A = this chain, B = another copy of it.
Amino acid sequence: MNSFGKLFRISIFGESHGPVVGCVIDGCPAGVSLSEEDMLYDLSKRKSGAKGTTPRQEDDIPEILTGVFDGKTTGAPITIQFRNNNTKSKDYTQFIDMPRPGHADFVAQRKYNGMSDPRGGGHFSGRLTLAIVAAGVVAKKLMPAVSVKAELTTLGGQTNIEEALDKAIKAGDSIGGTIECKVDGLSVGLGEPFFDSVESVISHGVFSIPGIKGIEFGNGFKVAELTGSKNNDLIVDADGHTSTNNCGGVNGGITNGNQLFFKVAVKPTASISLPQMTFNFEKGKIEELRIEGRHDLAFALRVPVVIEAMTAIVLADLVSVNKK
């Protein structure tokens, strides 16, 4: 389904080449100052146009349609919409016969009995993350003492982002990357021992973002190689601060007051300009496919602010539940 959260809850809607994408935010308390301007900075960080991103340029202008009165949230659902202007829906029907490798074309076709909107990925499009970024701005406002920062740390396997990009452009092939997210200022006690552990709900949110294939908290996969004496974090003061942060700020599923730290892997853009083989469902045989159109070479570049937004959304909900 397309909703997420228990008390601070977002629902997203829209298609890449339909009239709008947007979200409804339910459970936002009354009295939070909120305007379209508040969203522009985060939205700009998701924008395309820079080297390595798609040349499709959208205005990405948010419109707050409901839930705000006199510049303040009212407690009623907040609807935020973005119009799609720069759409070019020439020939996506070809991907019904010849599904693009790495894309959702095939599964969408099957899941929705051939009825899903194929234009620009339809509802599967990364464009929906626009709504997530907007909702993330609201979530961040609910936690003024909390800082959520995500950053691209490697691209194409190297830490020199610029160089990796140039290499990819030259090769005409897409590349992936890794993103680190650090959250400071969380109180002790968010999350639950089992099904709503902090790792559970953060990962639930983060894997909702198209193209994420891995997540690890604290030492992550490295823990598998460590001994307990090396991996345990020693508590050093009455606030629960620890000498190391191998656990990434979470014990027993619950925030321990240290920095929440996790890392995610973003796959290379599935759409590439190089020719690829795929199955032609009409002809019943494997054929070469060439994907035209405008695509990100490394959409990982645009994902950090989406990770931030999703993290803030999850945390705002955990904070709401924790107040009970």
Residues of A participating in the B interface, judged by any CB pair closer than 8 Å: 1-4, 6-9, 11-15, 18-22, 24, 26-27, 29-31, 65-67, 69, 72-79, 99, 101-104, 106-108, 110-113, 115-117, 119, 122-124, 128, 154, 156-157, 168, 171, 173-178, 188-189, 192-197, 199-201, 203-205, 207-208, 210, 212-229, 231-238, 240, 242, 247-248, 251-256, 265-272, 274, 276-279, 281, 284, 286, 300, 320-321, 323-324
Contact B213 A13 (CB under 8 A): no
Cβ contact of A173, chosen from B194, B201, B228, cutoff 8 A: B228
Instruction: Report copies per complex.
Output: 4
CB nearest to A32 among chain B residues:
B115
A6 vs chain B, min Cβ distance (A): 7
Which one, B2, B79, B128, B194, contacts A22 given CB within 8 A?
B79
Question: Roughly how many angstroms separate A227 CA and B170 CA in the complex, as a whole number?
Answer: 12
B276 pairs with A234, CB closer than 8 A: yes
A99-B235 CB under 8 A given contacts A110-B189, A323-B323? yes
**Which among A31, A157, A223 has the highest number of chain B CB atoms within 10 Å?**
A223
Query: Is there contact, CB below 8 Å, between B199 and A201?
Result: no
CB neighbours of A279 from chain B (8 A): 235-238, 240
**18 CB < 8 A contacts A-B:** A3-B3, A7-B321, A7-B324, A13-B66, A14-B77, A18-B65, A22-B79, A67-B123, A69-B122, A103-B252, A104-B253, A106-B235, A106-B251, A210-B253, A214-B216, A224-B266, A228-B271, A234-B276
| Chain B positions within 8 Å of A75 at CB level | 111-112, 115-116, 123
Contacting pair A227 B189 (CB below 8 A): no
Residue from A1, A72, A242 having most chain B Cβ neighbours under 10 A? A1
When chains A and B are docked, how far (Å) is the Cα of A271 from the Cα of B207? Answer: 31
- Of the candidates B18, B77, B157, B234, which one forms a contact with A66 in the assembled complex, judged by CB atoms under 8 Å apart? B18
Asked if A220 and B265 sit within 8 Å, CB to CB, the answer is: yes
Partner of A272, one of B196, B229, B233, B253: B229
Report A59 CB to chain B, min CB distance, Å: 17
Instruction: Say yes or no: B252 contacts A74, CB within 8 Å.
Output: no
Q: Known contacts A24-B13, A77-B13, A107-B256; decide if A30 and B223 are in contact (CB<8 Å).
A: no
Across the interface, name the chain B residue whose C-beta is closest to A252. B104
Q: A13-B79, A123-B74 are in contact. Are A228 and B102 (CB under 8 A)?
A: yes
A192 proximity list for chain B (CB < 8 A): 1-2
Q: Which residues of B contact A78 (CB under 8 A)?
A: 13
